[in-house]
Amino acid sequence: MDSATSEANPVATADASARPPLLSTAAQGLKIVIVGGFGVGKTTMVRAVSDIRPLNTEETMTRAGEGVDDLWGVQGKTTTTIAFDFGRISLNDETVLYLFGAPGQERFWFLWDRLFAGTLGAVVLVDTRRLEDCWYAIDRLEAHGTPFIVARNDFGGPRHTAEQVREALDLPDDVPLVECDARSRESSKEVLLALVHHLYDISTARLESTP
């Protein structure tokens, strides 16, 4: 980080320096994708939970997106991800999660299939004000056979029960639905741990069913 950046944002500098380096004992890297609709909080979650200063490909939104991107419910949004976000979190001394945040706008959906390649599992982040935005993500993950969980990001406003959200998304009973605040490191870590536990349960079930 250059000195100009440090002076401009000393809080970010202190935060980045406090985050731990990759341990030399790390032997296993697992790829996780965070996907969902436009403005649902994917970039925010990667930033909140990453052990390293995350790679972001955010750009300022311009008039070129007017009439193309649906801003209902996110009218105050001024930047958007144009490729993907990348971060990293160490689960323990040996296992590291590599986090990829997918772009949310429909015009960038063509990138998703490539991001899903080699993915161990995914988090579908949803905003209950715009539930329909995550249907495509769920459809593509199911088509790829990629295990996933659904995390309902807290934007305030009217609340819906877990049963109502599950019914609206037509989620199978075996797909976990969890609550989260993407701004919170601890909350975001709990989401990732829920996904890891889900993947473990799937792996265990497959082993038990093997003759």
Domain ranges of the chain: 26-209
Q: What is the maximal distance between C-alpha atoms in the chain?
A: 62
Rg (CA), the chain: 18
Q: What is the pLDDT of residue 13?
A: 36
CB atoms closer than 10 angstroms to residue 209: 7
No. of helices (H) and no. of strands (E), the chain:
7, 8
Residue 15's pLDDT is what? 45
Share of the chain above pLDDT 70, in %: 68
Position 166 scores a pLDDT of 92
Report whether pLDDT(185) > 80: yes
**Residue scoring higher pLDDT (126 or 66):** 126
- The model's confidence at residue 2, banded by pLDDT at 50, 70 and 90, is very low
Taking the complete model, does pTM exceed 0.85, yes or no?
A: no
Output the pLDDT for position 72: 45
**Three-class SS of residue 155?**
coil
pLDDT of residue 195: 94
Architecture of domain 26-209: 3-Layer(aba) Sandwich (3.40)
* Distance separating alpha carbons of residues 204 and 155, to the nearest angstrom: 35
pLDDT band at 14 (very low <50, low <70, confident <90, very high): very low
pLDDT in the model for residue 29:
80
pLDDT, tens digit, 9 for 90 and up, residues 76-133? 545 554 457 888 888 777 788 899 988 766 666 677 777 778 889 999 999 888 888 8
For residue 114, the model assigns a pLDDT of 77
Cβ count within 10 A of residue 193: 13
pLDDT, mean over the chain: 76
Residue 208 CA from chain centroid, whole number:
30
Provide the 10 A C-beta neighbour count for residue 198. 18
Q: How far apart are CA 131 and CA 134, in angstroms?
A: 6
- Measured CA to CA, the distance from residue 175 to residue 47 in angstroms comes to 25
The pLDDT of residue 198 is: 95
Dihedral pair phi/psi, residue 62, rounded to 5°: -120, 180
